[in-house]
Chain A
Amino acid sequence: MNQSLIQLQGIVKKFPGVLANDHVDLDICSGEIHAILGENGSGKSTLMSILAGLYRPDDGNILVNGVEQKFRSPKDAIDCGIGMIHQHFKLVEPFTVAENITLGEKQTSFILASKKLNDRIIELGIKYGLEINPDAKIWQLSVGEKQRVEIVRMLYRGSKVLVLDEPTAVLTPQEAAELFENLRKMAMAGCAVVLITHKLNEVEAVADRVTVLRQGKVAGVLEKHQINAQEMVRLMVGRSVVMQYARSSSSVGKVVLELNKVKALNDMGLPCLREMSLRVREGEVLGLAGVSGNGQREMAEIIAGLRLIQSGEVLLNGQSISNLSPRAIIDLGVAYVPEDRLGMGLVPDLNTLDNLILKNYHRPEYSGRWLLKPRAVQQNADTLVKQYQVKLASLLQPVKLMSGGNLQKLLLAREISSSPKLMVIVYPARGLDIGATEAVHKLLLELKQQKTAILLISEDLDEIFKLADRVGVVFNGQLTGEFPVEQADLEEVGLLMTGSRTARERINDNEPAHS
């Protein structure tokens, strides 16, 4: 192995009530792709934020090329050639790609020279296969493209160490493969790449070395020849995890949800659904694959009553629910787990008690004429937290302090406990570690046994193939393909998701669009 480019020694970081990093050591060499693994809340992002100068460690040293450095702000880290792509992109949405790339650049002209900048971006794009239109506005881009902007920005700044925090959580398999190819190119060019991910197959495919974190400590370091899924899981969670579920063929009943030629606009006022039609039956999981930004989120919002449709109709058990109020739709038995758990699903600053009664606080079980019934509220929370094994410090703590996996379990607990007829769930496992993913998936499969119709929207094809009975593909606001899961082909679905013409044509020839 090459000489260490970056050495972290004995890093300690405390947050109020949590020890996020507990004497962590990490070696990163130039030319390698170094994966960092760990459950939710094991301190991966914290450690990398320390390396990027964003957080200040409470103890420990950072050595760059063997020289100790004290990072007082991200600027110091950038000056040492460290660039990080955060879990939540740090892009200015109303700005153009070029503006975002030049933001914060030093030793350059006072006046913006857009021509020169654009040429440079295009040149870099060609060199690394990361083509991007410099004049596009960020909000117009798909998540994959946004990520490309972040990478080009780091390259543009000449970063030597590239840290990517869960970059593939939002990518199609093809996009992910492309990303890895690019990362490999950068490593060959002498950069060091640090990759955080929850997907073990990716680690097996690209990593040269793996550091596994567990509860803020290093659980182990694996060299290339030692990398295998079982070992990584053992280090991460200390037990084995089910990777494949038995597919129980529950009896499929009558149609619960039906969308007929629904048209709607997105937040920008542009069409996001163009004649979308689909059906979900009792006891069935319809898995909708698609790159985010193709209308899935908007569709889920329509079903939950949060967005108006322009034409077409939405039926629940044969009854129209088009443009009804969310409360009316909830009362009809629709449960909704949105993509944005902390923004839309839960209220971050409220505690667990309150979050669990958000949808039924007005029911007589929980409220009298004027006041809530504190005992009932407490009891409800106690039971749900126990039943769904939500790990939390206290029922009275704001939920924003919980880890991602536990938040998702809490949300599912609230939604499932209403015994819904239809469950709409968006990206259920995004950002969850394998343990939490397993728990969430099990909950969904149990729900299916209880004859609930489930509309599962996800970008993660593995997840869809594991859970769904039928697989649909959404592209550009339409259903571009639908297969029973046994007949679906991973490769083909991936191609359909990116709207690749050949695949779409094939579908149009063989299998006229479902309606």
Chain B
Amino acid sequence: MSIQEFLIPLLATAITAGTPILYAAIGELITERAGIINLGVEGIMLVGAVSGFMAAIATGSPWMGLLASMLAGGAVALIHAFLTITLRANQVVSGLSLTIFGTGLSGYLGKSYIGIPVAKPFDIMPLGPLAKIPIIGPIFFQHDILVYISYGLVIVLWYYMYRTRPGLNLRALGENPAAMDALGINVFLLRYIYVVVGGMFGGVGGAYLSLAYAPSWLENMTAGRGWIAVALVIFALWNPLRALLGSYLFGGIDALGFRLQVLNVQISPFFLKMLPYLFTVLVLVVVVARHKGRLSTPGALGLPYDREER
């Protein structure tokens, strides 16, 4: 087997395997840039996956499924927003309970959908002439439409964050909400919006799993990808371009394990399945050590804002 035959499919799978993580990480990145940690991503992804799946089956359209997953993800995130922004609850506790809630809820809703195939998932759709470029084409441009949308999303988000006025406000929101408030910006409203939008992307991450990556519903099908997304945001230093890179890296490790298994390499499949998680831990250690704890963490991340607080 030539390197080409091995490497190109591997890299192509790295991208599809990384895409659900990428969507979830983008959602978490937006949320954290606004100063709120949402550890409910795993739960949000699961709820997104199951509601997307159900809606796609009911309507026969994957697009309706996608819409449903966004609404569901946004709705769960709205609970988080209410608890942490309005009631100023501890963000870690609220997020963790959302994950537990989301896992349970999705399992319950999806009971009767286990093993049913989707009639119309998001199919592979080579992107015209781009798909024909040697090497690049098969790696990047022979996927489903959600992958292409994620490319655009990352670029748009980067531009939004670093080049536009609302993006500047978003970054400031996570750094110093008191300053924003004193400047007449509605901190509460903006934080609500970004937490909900972040949840929507988390939902899409879930729907990508159940409608494109492995079009079916399985209980707990995210298998910790939500947690990887949370870690990835730190790896990405809250920059969407690095989040893209990181997602594909994780996707690559995931895909590698899968490939090696197919090739019948004599390594325990359980070990191979563990790789992405092991890698998460290693990457975090390296990133944190390299920056000596001086990460570009948003200054007010995790702190509730109260205008009259002393």
A: which residues have CB within 8 A of B? 15, 52-55, 73-79, 84, 86, 90-95, 99, 102-105, 108-112, 400-401
Tier of interface size on chain B? 20 to 34
**A112-B163 in contact (CB<8A):** yes
Say yes or no: is B168 at the interface (Cβ < 8 Å to chain A): yes
Cα A480 to Cα B123 in complex, Å, equals 73
| Known A74-B184, A104-B180; 9 more pairs at CB < 8 Å | A74-B181, A77-B184, A79-B184, A84-B182, A90-B178, A92-B171, A94-B296, A103-B180, A108-B165
Name the residue of chain A whose CB is nearest to the CB of B182.
A90
For the complex, would chain B's binding face be called helix, strand, loop or mixed by DSSP majority?
Answer: helix
**A112-B172 in contact (CB<8A):** no
Cα A54 to Cα B182 in complex, Å, equals 7
Known contacts: A73-B184, A84-B182, A103-B183. The answer to whether A109 contacts B165 by CB under 8 A is yes
Q: B310: which A residues are within 8 A, CB to CB? A: 400-401
Q: B59: which A residues are within 8 A, CB to CB? A: none
**B165-A110 in contact (CB<8A):** yes
Give the 8 A-B CB pairs with smallest separation, nearest first.
Answer: A75-B184, A104-B183, A90-B179, A78-B184, A90-B182, A92-B175, A92-B176, A104-B185
Cα A54 to Cα B180 in complex, Å, equals 11
Contact among A76, A90, A109 with B183 in the assembled complex (CB-CB below 8 Å) = A90
B: which residues have CB within 8 A of A? 163-166, 168-169, 171-172, 175-176, 178-186, 296, 299, 307-308, 310
10 A-B pairs with C-beta separation under 8 A: A74-B182, A75-B185, A92-B176, A92-B299, A95-B171, A102-B165, A103-B172, A103-B180, A103-B183, A112-B168
Q: B165: which A residues are within 8 A, CB to CB? A: 102, 105, 108-112
**A73-B183 in contact (CB<8A):** no
**B183-A110 in contact (CB<8A):** no
**A55-B307 in contact (CB<8A):** yes
A-B pairs under 8 A by CB, number: 79
Name the residue of chain A whose CB is nearest to the CB of B309.
A400
**B176-A93 in contact (CB<8A):** yes
Q: A73: which B residues are within 8 A, CB to CB? A: 181, 184, 186
**B175-A52 in contact (CB<8A):** no
**A91-B307 in contact (CB<8A):** no
Min CB gap B2→A, angstroms = 47
Cα A101 to Cα B161 in complex, Å, equals 17
**A95-B185 in contact (CB<8A):** no
**B299-A95 in contact (CB<8A):** no
Q: B185: which A residues are within 8 A, CB to CB? A: 75, 103-104
Contact among A54, A74, A90, A112 with B164 in the assembled complex (CB-CB below 8 Å) = A112
Cα A214 to Cα B299 in complex, Å, equals 36
Q: A55: which B residues are within 8 A, CB to CB? A: 307-308
**A110-B184 in contact (CB<8A):** no
**A104-B184 in contact (CB<8A):** yes
**B183-A78 in contact (CB<8A):** yes
